Amino acid sequence: MATHRPKLVLNAAAYTAVDKAESEPAQAERLNSGLPAQLAGYAAAMGAYLVHYSTDYVYPGYGESAWHERSDTQPLSVYGKTKLAGDEAVMYSGCQHLIFRTSWVYAARGKNFLKSMLTLGRERDSLAVVNDQIGAPTPARLIALVTLHAWQQRIASGVYHLAPTGTTSWHGFASEIFKQAEEAGVTLSISSGQVSGIPTEEYPTPATRPLNSRLALNKLETALGITMPHWKDQLALTLQEHLEPLT
């Protein structure tokens, strides 16, 4: 940082192994809290601009109302607690910053839910997926586009929610993946109707997941003068990107 002296810092690094964080809290703290604090310190000292990506896991995850940026935070897991600590380090550093809290991130590349479902859909003719956790699947492509617009428009420092409109469960997301993949000509062993839903309690994990990951988008939409797209439309674009050969 001292050598290159960037004026814009995008912090997309994080410890995102939610369950493993329960047994590796020090490693999660280092990436999710310590690193943002260091970057924010640099930004404050050098007059740089810091964009930091966060998560719906900072909220308590109960109820059915969408969380607002001003909602009380109460993370349920080590991952959520360390991400909140990172947010607060950036907020109180005095640097110019944008903190984007997003949910259920996936992409055309890398390891994520979309690619896992497509792999399983080729191997299995039935599948059970959690149906009582509700949120908005958010593709990395949308996060990148919104970040660009926010930087170009120099919106005010603060916390913003970044996700598509509409909500679904993981079961609904998986079913829509299979439906759109079939329509795109992908050969699968499973159909969208062969995905059954199960409650979270039937799929225990080391880390507690929030049942309510709904995020209010009013603040971001007002700041940018836009309406965020629907998650199904974003899935179609991301699936198309995944199916296109790399050039």
Annotated catalytic residues are: 79
CB 10 within 8 A of CB 147: yes
| Residue 21 DSSP label | G
Give the DSSP H or E segment for 102: strand 96-102
The neighbour count for residue 186, using CB atoms within 10 Å, is: 16
Residue matched to tokens 């929610």: 161
Residue matched to tokens 């404050």: 44
CB 173 within 8 A of CB 206: no
Extract the tokens encoding 239.
């699936």
Q: What share of the chain is helix, strand, coil (3-state, %, to 5)?
A: 45, 15, 40
Dihedral angle computed from the Cα positions of residues 11, 12, 14 and 16, in that order, rounded to the nearest 10 degrees: 160
Burial of 100 (0-12, 13-18, 19+ CB in 10 A): buried
